[in-house]
Protein backbone atom coordinates (compact mmCIF):
# COMPACT_ATOMS: atom_id res chain seq x y z
CA UNK A 1 0.00 0.00 0.00
CA UNK A 2 1.24 3.49 -0.80
CA UNK A 3 2.23 5.40 2.33
CA UNK A 4 0.17 8.53 1.65
CA UNK A 5 -3.01 7.07 0.16
CA UNK A 6 -6.06 9.15 1.01
CA UNK A 7 -4.11 12.19 2.21
CA UNK A 8 -4.72 15.67 0.79
CA UNK A 9 -1.48 17.63 0.83
CA UNK A 10 -1.01 21.35 0.16
CA UNK A 11 2.49 22.28 -1.04
CA UNK A 12 3.38 25.95 -1.32
CA UNK A 13 5.79 27.05 -4.04
CA UNK A 14 5.39 23.74 -5.85
CA UNK A 15 5.64 24.73 -9.51
CA UNK A 16 9.38 24.03 -9.80
CA UNK A 17 12.53 22.93 -8.03
CA UNK A 18 12.23 21.19 -4.67
CA UNK A 19 8.50 21.94 -4.49
CA UNK A 20 7.80 20.20 -7.78
CA UNK A 21 9.93 17.20 -6.78
CA UNK A 22 7.97 16.97 -3.53
CA UNK A 23 4.68 17.08 -5.45
CA UNK A 24 5.76 14.22 -7.75
CA UNK A 25 6.99 12.10 -4.86
CA UNK A 26 3.91 12.59 -2.68
CA UNK A 27 1.58 11.93 -5.61
CA UNK A 28 3.49 8.73 -6.36
CA UNK A 29 2.87 7.70 -2.75
CA UNK A 30 -0.88 8.08 -3.27
CA UNK A 31 -1.58 11.59 -2.02
CA UNK A 32 -3.78 14.17 -3.69
CA UNK A 33 -1.47 17.15 -4.06
CA UNK A 34 -2.30 20.83 -4.37
CA UNK A 35 0.33 22.70 -6.35
CA UNK A 36 0.44 26.25 -5.02
CA UNK A 37 2.14 28.86 -7.18
CA UNK A 38 2.34 32.65 -7.10
CA UNK A 39 3.04 33.60 -10.70
CA UNK A 40 4.07 30.87 -13.12
CA UNK A 41 0.82 29.13 -14.02
CA UNK A 42 2.39 27.36 -16.99
CA UNK A 43 4.99 25.66 -14.78
CA UNK A 44 2.33 24.71 -12.22
CA UNK A 45 0.09 23.26 -14.92
CA UNK A 46 3.00 21.23 -16.26
CA UNK A 47 3.50 19.66 -12.83
CA UNK A 48 -0.21 18.92 -12.51
CA UNK A 49 -0.45 17.43 -16.00
CA UNK A 50 2.59 15.21 -15.41
CA UNK A 51 1.06 13.90 -12.19
CA UNK A 52 -2.30 13.28 -13.84
CA UNK A 53 -0.63 11.52 -16.76
CA UNK A 54 1.06 9.22 -14.25
CA UNK A 55 -2.28 8.31 -12.68
CA UNK A 56 -2.10 10.67 -9.70
CA UNK A 57 -4.36 13.42 -8.44
CA UNK A 58 -3.34 17.08 -8.47
CA UNK A 59 -4.74 20.59 -8.59
CA UNK A 60 -2.96 23.92 -9.17
CA UNK A 61 -3.97 26.92 -7.05
CA UNK A 62 -2.59 30.43 -7.32
CA UNK A 63 -1.91 32.32 -4.10
CA UNK A 64 0.75 34.71 -2.85
CA UNK A 65 1.57 33.29 0.58
CA UNK A 66 2.56 36.73 1.84
CA UNK A 67 -1.07 37.84 1.41
CA UNK A 68 -3.25 36.56 4.23
CA UNK A 69 -6.52 36.77 2.31
CA UNK A 70 -5.10 34.76 -0.57
CA UNK A 71 -3.86 32.08 1.83
CA UNK A 72 -7.26 31.93 3.55
CA UNK A 73 -8.98 31.57 0.19
CA UNK A 74 -6.55 28.83 -0.85
CA UNK A 75 -7.29 26.73 2.24
CA UNK A 76 -11.02 27.27 1.85
CA UNK A 77 -10.87 26.24 -1.82
CA UNK A 78 -8.99 23.03 -1.04
CA UNK A 79 -11.44 22.12 1.72
CA UNK A 80 -14.43 22.89 -0.53
CA UNK A 81 -12.89 20.67 -3.22
CA UNK A 82 -11.59 17.76 -1.13
CA UNK A 83 -13.28 18.23 2.29
CA UNK A 84 -9.97 18.45 4.13
CA UNK A 85 -6.27 19.29 4.22
CA UNK A 86 -4.19 16.59 5.91
CA UNK A 87 -0.67 17.88 5.38
CA UNK A 88 0.81 21.34 4.83
CA UNK A 89 4.27 21.62 3.23
CA UNK A 90 5.61 25.17 3.55
CA UNK A 91 8.13 25.12 0.73
CA UNK A 92 7.59 28.61 -0.78
CA UNK A 93 10.51 30.93 -0.24
CA UNK A 94 13.08 33.20 -1.81
CA UNK A 95 16.81 33.60 -1.25
CA UNK A 96 18.54 36.95 -1.66
CA UNK A 97 22.24 37.00 -0.87
CA UNK A 98 23.99 40.32 -0.24
CA UNK A 99 26.40 41.77 2.24
CA UNK A 100 24.66 43.69 5.03
CA UNK A 101 25.99 46.97 3.65
CA UNK A 102 24.43 46.27 0.25
CA UNK A 103 21.04 44.98 1.45
CA UNK A 104 18.26 47.45 0.73
CA UNK A 105 15.09 47.99 2.72
CA UNK A 106 13.23 46.39 -0.17
CA UNK A 107 15.49 43.32 -0.10
CA UNK A 108 14.90 42.86 3.62
CA UNK A 109 11.15 43.35 3.40
CA UNK A 110 10.69 41.04 0.42
CA UNK A 111 12.63 38.22 2.02
CA UNK A 112 10.74 38.44 5.30
CA UNK A 113 7.35 38.91 3.67
CA UNK A 114 7.60 35.63 1.77
CA UNK A 115 9.77 33.46 4.02
CA UNK A 116 8.41 34.54 7.41
CA UNK A 117 5.01 36.13 6.88
CA UNK A 118 4.19 33.53 4.22
CA UNK A 119 4.85 30.70 6.67
CA UNK A 120 2.98 32.53 9.42
CA UNK A 121 -0.06 33.00 7.18
CA UNK A 122 -0.29 29.32 6.30
CA UNK A 123 0.26 28.20 9.90
CA UNK A 124 -2.47 30.52 11.12
CA UNK A 125 -4.93 28.90 8.71
CA UNK A 126 -3.65 25.41 9.49
CA UNK A 127 -4.24 26.01 13.21
CA UNK A 128 -7.98 25.65 12.66
CA UNK A 129 -8.30 24.11 9.20
CA UNK A 130 -5.76 21.29 9.10
CA UNK A 131 -7.34 17.91 9.78
CA UNK A 132 -6.80 16.22 13.14
CA UNK A 133 -3.75 13.91 13.12
CA UNK A 134 -2.30 15.89 10.24
CA UNK A 135 1.27 17.04 9.66
CA UNK A 136 3.08 20.29 8.93
CA UNK A 137 6.49 20.39 7.27
CA UNK A 138 8.18 23.78 7.23
CA UNK A 139 11.35 24.64 5.32
CA UNK A 140 14.46 26.21 6.75
CA UNK A 141 18.00 25.85 5.41
CA UNK A 142 21.37 24.42 6.37
CA UNK A 143 22.72 27.95 5.96
CA UNK A 144 21.41 28.63 9.47
CA UNK A 145 24.19 26.31 10.70
CA UNK A 146 27.19 27.39 8.61
CA UNK A 147 27.25 31.20 8.92
CA UNK A 148 28.10 32.13 5.34
CA UNK A 149 28.69 35.80 4.48
CA UNK A 150 25.94 37.44 2.34
CA UNK A 151 23.25 35.12 3.77
CA UNK A 152 22.40 37.36 6.75
CA UNK A 153 18.78 38.26 6.05
CA UNK A 154 18.01 34.88 4.50
CA UNK A 155 19.34 33.02 7.54
CA UNK A 156 17.42 35.33 9.86
CA UNK A 157 14.19 34.63 8.01
CA UNK A 158 14.76 30.88 8.18
CA UNK A 159 15.68 31.00 11.86
CA UNK A 160 12.26 32.54 12.45
CA UNK A 161 10.64 29.60 10.64
CA UNK A 162 12.52 27.15 12.88
CA UNK A 163 11.12 28.88 15.95
CA UNK A 164 7.62 28.86 14.44
CA UNK A 165 7.93 25.08 14.16
CA UNK A 166 8.83 24.59 17.81
CA UNK A 167 6.02 26.77 19.14
CA UNK A 168 3.33 25.69 16.66
CA UNK A 169 4.04 22.03 17.47
CA UNK A 170 3.04 22.70 21.08
CA UNK A 171 -0.05 24.67 20.09
CA UNK A 172 -1.57 22.00 17.84
CA UNK A 173 -0.21 18.82 19.36
CA UNK A 174 -3.42 18.14 21.28
CA UNK A 175 -5.09 17.50 17.90
CA UNK A 176 -2.48 14.92 16.95
CA UNK A 177 -0.73 17.23 14.49
CA UNK A 178 3.05 16.93 14.31
CA UNK A 179 5.15 19.82 13.04
CA UNK A 180 8.72 19.61 11.77
CA UNK A 181 11.28 21.55 9.78
CA UNK A 182 13.43 20.31 6.92
CA UNK A 183 16.71 22.14 6.31
CA UNK A 184 18.17 21.29 2.90
CA UNK A 185 21.80 21.86 2.12
CA UNK A 186 23.00 23.05 -1.30
CA UNK A 187 20.55 21.53 -3.78
CA UNK A 188 20.56 21.44 -7.56
CA UNK A 189 17.75 23.92 -8.23
CA UNK A 190 17.60 27.19 -10.12
CA UNK A 191 17.08 29.02 -6.81
CA UNK A 192 20.44 27.78 -5.57
CA UNK A 193 22.63 27.50 -8.67
CA UNK A 194 21.60 30.71 -10.48
CA UNK A 195 24.49 33.14 -10.65
CA UNK A 196 27.00 30.80 -8.97
CA UNK A 197 30.19 29.89 -10.85
CA UNK A 198 30.85 26.15 -11.17
CA UNK A 199 33.87 26.40 -8.87
CA UNK A 200 31.62 27.74 -6.09
CA UNK A 201 29.17 24.89 -6.56
CA UNK A 202 32.07 22.39 -6.57
CA UNK A 203 33.41 23.88 -3.34
CA UNK A 204 30.03 23.60 -1.63
CA UNK A 205 29.73 20.02 -2.85
CA UNK A 206 33.08 19.24 -1.21
CA UNK A 207 31.76 20.26 2.22
CA UNK A 208 29.90 16.98 2.72
CA UNK A 209 31.30 13.43 2.69
CA UNK A 210 29.46 12.49 -0.52
CA UNK A 211 31.18 15.27 -2.47
CA UNK A 212 28.04 16.37 -4.31
CA UNK A 213 25.21 18.80 -3.84
CA UNK A 214 21.75 17.44 -3.21
CA UNK A 215 19.11 16.74 -5.79
CA UNK A 216 15.47 17.82 -5.29
CA UNK A 217 14.47 14.15 -5.02
CA UNK A 218 16.75 13.77 -1.98
CA UNK A 219 14.68 16.37 -0.16
CA UNK A 220 11.38 15.01 -1.46
CA UNK A 221 12.08 11.61 0.12
CA UNK A 222 12.52 13.21 3.55
CA UNK A 223 9.27 15.15 3.16
CA UNK A 224 7.40 12.02 2.07
CA UNK A 225 8.48 10.26 5.25
CA UNK A 226 7.56 13.19 7.50
CA UNK A 227 4.14 13.40 5.83
CA UNK A 228 3.45 9.73 6.53
CA UNK A 229 1.94 8.15 9.62
CA UNK A 230 5.29 6.42 10.25
CA UNK A 231 6.73 9.80 11.32
CA UNK A 232 4.07 10.78 13.87
CA UNK A 233 6.44 10.47 16.84
CA UNK A 234 8.83 12.94 15.23
CA UNK A 235 7.68 16.38 16.35
CA UNK A 236 9.14 19.89 16.74
CA UNK A 237 12.40 18.78 15.10
CA UNK A 238 14.68 20.33 12.50
CA UNK A 239 15.90 17.65 10.07
CA UNK A 240 19.09 18.50 8.20
CA UNK A 241 18.92 17.07 4.68
CA UNK A 242 22.40 18.04 3.61
CA UNK A 243 24.52 14.91 3.17
CA UNK A 244 26.44 15.64 6.37
CA UNK A 245 27.51 19.20 5.52
CA UNK A 246 26.46 20.47 8.96
Active site annotation includes 151: no
Q: Which of 199, 212, 198, 201 is nearest to 245 (CA)?
A: 212
Which is catalytic among the residues 37, 82, 151, 154? Answer: 154
> Whole-angstrom Cα distance, residue 180 to residue 154?
19
- CB neighbourhood size of 146 (10 A): 15
Taking each helix axis from N to C end, the angle separating 17-28 and 216-227, rounded to the nearest 10 degrees, works out to: 50
- CB neighbourhood size of 5 (10 A): 10
Phi, psi of 185 (to 5 degrees): -90, -165
Paired strand residues for 24:
none
Contacts of 79 (CB under 8 A, 6+ apart): 85, 129
CA 130 from chain centre, in angstroms, equals 16
What is each CA distance from 35 to 78, 104, 133, 203, in whole angstroms? 11, 31, 22, 33
**H-helix or E-strand spanning residue 181:** strand 178-184
Residues with a catalytic annotation lie at 154
Amino acid sequence: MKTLSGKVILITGASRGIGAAIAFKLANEGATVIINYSGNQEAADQVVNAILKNGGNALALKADVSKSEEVKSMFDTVIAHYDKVDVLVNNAGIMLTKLFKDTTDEDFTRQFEINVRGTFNTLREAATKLADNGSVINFSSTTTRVMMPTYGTYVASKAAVEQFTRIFAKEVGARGINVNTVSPGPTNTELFTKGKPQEVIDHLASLNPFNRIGEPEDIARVVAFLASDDAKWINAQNIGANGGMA
